[in-house]
Amino acid sequence: MENQTPATTEKNNGSNLPAVNQSAVLENTIIGKNSSFIAETIQETITKLKESPSFIAQAEAINSQMKTLVEMGKAEIEGYKVAAFMASGR
């Protein structure tokens, strides 16, 4: 039986969906495209919290937005998995 997994696959995540080229997928998600900004924001937030405990309310708001970005990235990755599955013809 012919392998129906796309040629660009690298690793299967254990699900019944075909594997996808994880590097290419991650680079094209909101997280991949904004990784420098996200890292800088987190580092700045930590620094400000160390300097001023009054920054806690703002840090909580930033944390909430970062969680939203992560959830959006997860949804994008799931979309890529579904697209790879559909492209595989299974």
4-27 pLDDT per residue, tens: 444 444 455 555 545 556 676 677
Residue 11 β-bridge partners: 20
User: Distance (Å, rounded) from C-alpha 54 to C-alpha 67?
Assistant: 21
**19 close to 90: Cβ distance less than 8 angstroms:** no
Domain assignments of the chain as residue spans, ordered by start: 22-88
Quote the pLDDT of residue 77.
86
Q: Which range (4-8, 27-31, 34-38, 70-74) has the least confidence? A: 4-8
pLDDT number for residue 19: 58
Q: How confident is the model at residue 33 (pLDDT cuts 50, 70, 90)?
A: confident
